[in-house]
Structure 1
Amino acid sequence: MRLLRVGPSGGERPAVIGPDGRVLDLSSLTADIDGAFLADDGVARVQAAVAAGTLLEAGPYERVGAPVARPGKIVCIGLNYSDHAEETGAESPAEPVVFLKASNTLVGPDDTVLVPRRSVKTDYEVELAVIIGRTARYLDSPAEAAGVIAGYAIANDVSEREFQNERGGQWDKGKSCETFNPLGPWLVTPDEVGDPQALGLRLWVNGEPRQNGDTKNQIFDVQHVIWYLSQFMVLEPGDIVNTGTPAGVALGRGPEAYLRSGDVVEIEIDGLGRQRQKVAQA
């Protein structure tokens, strides 16, 4: 199942892609796709309504928003692909590298990405995002993680590398600028995704291929990441976990590869759709 939110920023409506490809309105079932909806078996209710054929078509819309609203937190894993660790000159970590992004970095998959003022090293990162659907607290094993995952989506973990690495060593400063987490277009449920460790990830800048990886090359797989995080923090419905990026980021390519106003970033992950962002100056 592919859930999405359509409409202007701040006025998105919940929707689902029906079996015939039509976009169906979910306003009769829920006000929004958020943590409360996911925690209250919202996905199951949507599945039942789709099967019953009771949903109306969403009608015309000009924008797709992030597929989940108001996450409590966005948790990210750094250096989680061996090729990316190598290109940045870092050793593969013994445990997952964890940092947070401000929840208000979240924007839609095709919304504008803003280069921060005084930025010289704004970077892109295609990532598999996990959306949490059940509370995860001290999970006993990685195998239990499957039961708390509501679905998956594409994330662009936009980063400002000078802010991140050269301004006191605090990653959050380079990760939490406005518009720095385009998400979507869909929340795709696990039954439709299949094996999350068998997904190709690709990113282009101005039509030039920059990243071409596969989740099979993650150092810590999705279930391990969710289990690990649950030992240090409570993951709640609606939270987003970005699981790392493969090689090809601008940090590993050189100064000419960083994003500038006017650039166009395109991203896709197998089965999860496609994003397209225009870059502009803040």
Structure 2
Amino acid sequence: MSWPFVFSTPNLSIREAMVTDILLGKNDNVEGVCTFFGMNFYAPAVILTTGTFMSGKIWVGRTSMPAGRAGESASHGLTENLQRLGFESDRLKTGTPARVDCRTVDFSVLEPQLGDEEVSWFSFDPDFHIEKEQMCCYLTRTTKSTHQLIKDNLHETPTYGGWVEAKGPRYCPSIEDKIVRFQDKESHQIFLEPEGRTVPELYVQGFSTGLPERLQLPLLRTLPGLENCSMLRPAYAVEYDYLPAHQCSRSLMTKKIDGLFFSGQINGTTGYEEAAAQV
């Protein structure tokens, strides 16, 4: 859903701020939220969809900064407020891969991955079915050089170096997790996915890592087709707070507070698709 669509929706008001407190009524039902700068907004229902931002911290090697995503501030204060209200919290770790410049990739040695001939839609409403020319993804694979570089430098990653103890995702592990967990595998598939129609960025799917930035370009260049690639943005690991989902009913309303809902990655979901399916 695009911002122009959101802003043009009738009877929908937009306000951006960092929420730090949940406001409760006399019967301990939700009454609204309070922001960092002390503004109260009242509502009969509140839905928290905090993604990776709640007390988020990103790591590249041993270097870290508070953030929910590179270049975007973390959310602070909400975890502590929810704990005071009696909620259990924990930490998760996930990551995102580097982005490379498509103009520096040799696609002639890569296997094209075409889209489905019959397009499936997320919405049943035909008004949202906009036909566009599909963009091609490409398949490459890790090599012995990839695996060796990672094995030689595991001590420089947040998890294996021991300075991040948050649990990692089960279904979208970092490339170092793949090398450690599946040592019998000589190679792993890596998908190159275009980030957009008008930008040169390629998303290196399946290649998230917490290695220091100085090692990331040499690592990328161990992949067939990327021997001379340029890295536009480094990969990083991100750790963040979440609220275990047993505190919600099947409707995703919390069991402790009527009208307060948790949805998406705040419930411990580590995949974007699974998180989106909750909303």
TM-score by length of 2: 0.22
Q: Given the two structures, how large is their TM-score scaled by the length of structure 1? A: 0.22
Which is higher, the Rg of structure 1 or of structure 2?
Answer: 2
